[in-house]
Structure 1
Amino acid sequence: MEDKKDMQGIIKEHINLELIEPGVSAYSSLGFLHLEIFSDVCHREGLVLYEKKATTAVNKIEFLRILIDEAGIELEDHIVEKIRNFPDVLKDKKHLQSFLGVVNFAGIIIKDLAKYRKDFLLLLKEIESSKWKWEEIHTQRVRELKQVCSNLPKLAIPQDEDELVVYTDANDYRWASVLMKKTTTGEEPCRYTGGLFSEQQAQVWHINEKEFFAVWKLLRNNPYFYLLKSLY
């Protein structure tokens, strides 16, 4: 089956697994029981798994430059090093796009990434290279992102019994949200997300609508969606 969404729909219909976009990467706390059910579903529905690309029954995987294991989720070390190796002053639009593209691999781990991206918007919209104007604020933002990516937290993986909390923040131009799990000592982050409002959204939406949008975006893109029954 070529349609990835159809494949995900079939799997979700039969198994309560966590499917992580954009591939069909599945996380399950029931291990081999779900693996057996998954095998039966693939056989019945005619789903084909390529041997070189399909991995099963492992406790640690690399997925889209992210390492996932029983202890949590973190960015691969070589991606952090690649971010550090970028110069503080980027020479043109392509260079900036390359830098932000690498930073995006850490998008779910960086708190309020949109705050840093905002100051690059005009540079990304610039078509003529002759109008490229790098300023001190851009250098500052690059340095800040490199510093943030050098000290990223390890995200927690929620379990069925965990109590989850969503925090949001929004202002005139950006929104941010984070999914936290409660622990005996406080709270641990499970996922960050955020973005910039369009001009129309920024002008028309009330602050309550912006906050609700931040909640919706977090839940919509959350790989732990099925665990949200205990959400506050």
Structure 2
Amino acid sequence: MEGLVLSEKKATVAVNKIEFLGILIDEVGIELQEHIVEKIRNFPDILKDKKHLQSFLGVVNFAGIFIKDLAKYRKDFRPFLKETESAKWKWEEIHTQRVRELKQVCNNLPKLAIPQDEDELVVYTDANDYRWAAVLMKKTTTGEEPCRYTGGLLLNNKPKCGTSTRKNSLRFGRLLRNGLCFTC
């Protein structure tokens, strides 16, 4: 027998909504499942060490496609991620504030639109000397709906990474590499 064989236990066919790897997908769009948001909410506001921070950011990064300008919130944690064993962990109020801001943002994540072949799509990008961001938007009769966010920190972390043209090239290349442009 040739063709597709489905396991009755593992396959679901002809449904309007599916749960897949922490994402809820329906005919309108995609959203993060509540148990992922709950996991973020359950982290303490003060993180105790590098491993605790990495765990928190790992869950937050999973939600990253839903978070506009995620790098803005993550930038203050960067020194901790580079921390060596001999370096001292020095958690400050700004870090507690960023954790709280990320939790608040994750409590209000948008439902992302699913682009269709016939949709008109627009990519917006932005960058400064330290971070870059992009969003894929779907044009609608009433305006635009987000389909996906992406962004990151510029690795060299040095001011004046180049001309405006160089920044534009960097951010466009990164958004393509991070899968912002996708088709369904």
Question: Which of 133, 143, 158 is residue 115 of structure 2 equivalent to?
Answer: 158
Amino acid at match of 1:186: G
Q: Tell me by how many angstroms 1:189 deviates.
A: 0.3
Is 1:67 the counterpart of 2:20 in the alignment?
no
SS at match of 1:165: strand
Q: Identity of counterpart residues, as a percentage?
A: 77
SS at match of 1:89: coil
Take 1:138 and 1:171, find their aligned partners in 2: how far apart are those partners? Answer: 22
Take 1:223 and 1:54, find their aligned partners in 2: how far apart are those partners? Answer: 29
Question: Which of 153, 156, 176 is residue 219 of structure 1 equivalent to?
Answer: 176
Cα deviation 1:134-186 (Å, max 9, x = unaligned): 01110110010000000000000111221111111100010000000111111
The Cα RMSD (Å) is 2.6
Conservation of the 8 A alpha-carbon contact between 2:67 and 2:105: yes
SS at match of 1:159: coil
Q: Tell me by how many angstroms 1:224 deviates.
A: 5.7
Distance change >3 Å, CA 216–CA 58, structure 1 → 2: farther
Distance change >3 Å, CA 55–CA 147, structure 1 → 2: same
Distance change >3 Å, CA 190–CA 123, structure 1 → 2: same
**More relative contact order, 1 or 2 (CA 8 Å, 6+ apart):** 2
Is 1:83 the counterpart of 2:83 in the alignment?
no
**2:67 matched residue in structure 1:** 110
Conservation of the 8 A alpha-carbon contact between 1:171 and 1:207: no
Q: Which runs of 5+ in 2 are unaligned?
A: none
Q: Tell me by how many angstroms 1:56 deviates.
A: 5.2
Q: Which runs of 5+ in 1 are unaligned?
A: 1-38, 43-47, 228-232
**1:101 matched residue in structure 2:** 58
Conservation of the 8 A alpha-carbon contact between 1:167 and 1:179: yes
Amino acid at match of 1:86: F
**1:173 matched residue in structure 2:** 130
Distance change >3 Å, CA 129–CA 136, structure 1 → 2: farther
Conservation of the 8 A alpha-carbon contact between 2:16 and 2:27: yes
Cα deviation 1:20-68 (Å, max 9, x = unaligned): xxxxxxxxxxxxxxxxxxx85x7xxxxx988766665543333331111
Take 2:163 and 2:7, find their aligned partners in 1: how far apart are those partners? Answer: 49
Cα deviation 1:5-26 (Å, max 9, x = unaligned): xxxxxxxxxxxxxxxxxxxxxx
**2:142 matched residue in structure 1:** 185
Q: Tell me by how many angstroms 1:213 deviates.
A: 2.7
User: Which segments of structure 1 move beyond 4 Å, counting only runs of 4 or more?
Assistant: 48-58, 200-204
Amino acid at match of 2:116: Q
Distance change >3 Å, CA 59–CA 105, structure 1 → 2: same
Take 1:58 and 1:215, find their aligned partners in 2: how far apart are those partners? Answer: 36
Instruction: Report 1:116-135 matches (<5 A).
Output: 116-128=73-85, 131-135=88-92
Take 1:137 and 1:180, find their aligned partners in 2: how far apart are those partners? Answer: 32
SS at match of 1:158: coil
Distance change >3 Å, CA 142–CA 56, structure 1 → 2: same
SS at match of 2:54: helix
Amino acid at match of 2:77: F
Q: Which moved more, 1:64-73 or 1:140-149?
A: 64-73
Larger helix proportion, structure 1 or 2? 1
Give the TM-score normalised by the residue count of structure 1. 0.70
